[in-house]
Amino acid sequence: MTITQPPRGAIEACDTEPAFPANLIDPATLVDVAGLVDLAKALVAGDKGLLAMDESTPTCNERFAAAGIEQNEPARRAYRQLLVGTPGLCECISGAILYDETIRQHTSYGVPFAQAVADAGIIPGVKVDIGETALAAHPGEQVTEGLDGLVDRLGEYHQMGARFAKWRAVFTIGNHTPTSGCIDANASGLARYAAVCQQAGLVPVVEPEVLMAGDHNLARCEEVTEAVLRAVFAHLADQRVALEAMILKPNMVLPGSACPTQSGVEEVADATLRCLRRAVPAAVPGVAFLSGGQPGQLASARLNACNLRFPSAPWELAFSFARAIQHPALEIWGGDRANVTAAQNALYHRARCNQAARRGEYRPVMERTQRS
Ligand code: 13P
């Protein structure tokens, strides 16, 4: 009998493998894994969730323009101050994700924003990717940038008070997309970012977003989301990211916004949880969904169905919404100081609804009981 020897390269690769398993972080390179694990758990503890208020300046300006609000730095600062200053927000919100511009600003009272967030009883975080660019040789697909200089930027953000970070990668569903090249490039970027974050003492929020745009159906979104999540977790393992010290921020599994068949909330919850169970290791403490352009009440109802139908899921099923939690507040504010309290009440209301959804206790009737 002939015994085939493994190729020489394979033996060399094994010989150089470190003594610790590939999915655990090298203790020598990470100062306080336990601290990061506690922080990750705190971000998804109880019935709270994250407030994503990290729209880039172009995106924020776009939303301001749609609401008839001036698009300038003082307006963006005033709006972010309104959000952070919402009375009682910390009852429902554990962490707030800031944008680079915001974390460098001071409130009108002269308090640095990260400090204002912490003073409100909320953990400050920051978006650290620098956005998407066209992926070479992959027409219509994008890759997220921001790894250059990331170590230094994270050190600076940590000094400013940020304790967690976020990086978003996007995937478009089309007849031939996302391609394996796009999935691999973005999954690799997410994993390298996450490893650098943990080394710098920040909890990474890993956000692979399969976009809702398109006429694909629920099954196609499930198939793509599963492929993306599998690739992301393979790269996270390769990069020795401690899964216990990160948060996953995925899309819910949804039919495309132009799909003629819009699934019910239970169907969405079932597809979402089936997909997560197959692809997300139980060591991850929390899944904090993005809203992705869903109307606020529908996002709450779908989050509620996830928690109601899967109370023993291995991860906390939380939220990290931007549009679905902020939209009514932004519209009500409209750039007018006189509307600040009403806008804050609208934000608080959506936060309360999502908090109830975390417990599986959200009911549409709640929408009629907003504080004034
Ligand atoms: P949406 O909830 O509006 O999708 O925003 C979440 C987010 O943080 C996008 O990066």
CA atoms within 13 A on the CB side of 167: 27
Burial grade of 331 (CB within 10 A; 0-12, 13-18, 19 or more): middle
Asked whether the beta carbons of 57 and 11 are under 8 A apart, the reply is no
Tell me the pLDDT of the chain averaged across its residues. 94
- What lies within 8 Å, CB to CB, of 278 at 6+ separation is 226, 230
Q: Residue 208: what are its φ and ψ, rounded to 5°?
A: -95, 115
- Residues marked active site are found at 249
Q: Looking at the CA of residue 325, tell me the nearest atom of ligand 1.
A: 2
Q: At 371, is the pLDDT very low, low, confident or very high (cuts 50, 70, 90)? A: confident
Pocket test for ligand 1, best of 60, 290, 303 (most atoms within 8 A of CB): 290
- Tell me the CA–centroid distance for residue 10 and ligand 1, in Å: 42
* SS3 (DSSP) at 301: helix
Query: Tens of pLDDT along 315-339?
Result: 999 999 999 999 999 999 999 999 9
Rounded Cα gap, residues 42 and 121, in angstroms: 12
Query: Tens of pLDDT along 32-65?
Result: 789 999 999 999 999 999 999 999 999 999 999 9
- Tell me the CA–centroid distance for residue 249 and ligand 1, in Å: 9
- Tell me the CA–centroid distance for residue 28 and ligand 1, in Å: 35
Burial grade of 19 (CB within 10 A; 0-12, 13-18, 19 or more): exposed
Residue 356 pLDDT exceeds 70: yes
- What lies within 8 Å, CB to CB, of 299 at 6+ separation is 252, 289, 291, 319, 321, 324, 354
Note the pTM of the prediction, 2 decimals. 0.93
Query: Tens of pLDDT along 179-222?
Result: 999 999 999 999 999 999 999 999 999 999 999 999 999 999 99
Q: Whose CA is nearest to atom 8 of ligand 1?
A: 52
Q: What is the domain partition of the chain in residue ranges?
A: 33-358
Give the binding-site residues of ligand 1, using a 6 Å CB cut-off. 52, 168, 207, 290-292, 321-324
Query: Tens of pLDDT along 107-134?
Result: 999 999 999 999 999 999 999 999 999 9
Q: Looking at the CA of residue 207, tell me the nearest atom of ligand 1.
A: 10
- What lies within 8 Å, CB to CB, of 152 at 6+ separation is none
- Tell me the CA–centroid distance for residue 90 and ligand 1, in Å: 19
pLDDT value of position 21:
53
Q: Whose CA is nearest to atom 4 of ligand 1?
A: 292
Class of domain 33-358: alpha beta
Asked whether the beta carbons of 86 and 79 are under 8 A apart, the reply is no
Pocket test for ligand 1, best of 63, 171, 297, 320 (most atoms within 8 A of CB): 320
**Residue of 316, 326, 350, 343 whose CA lies nearest to 54:** 326
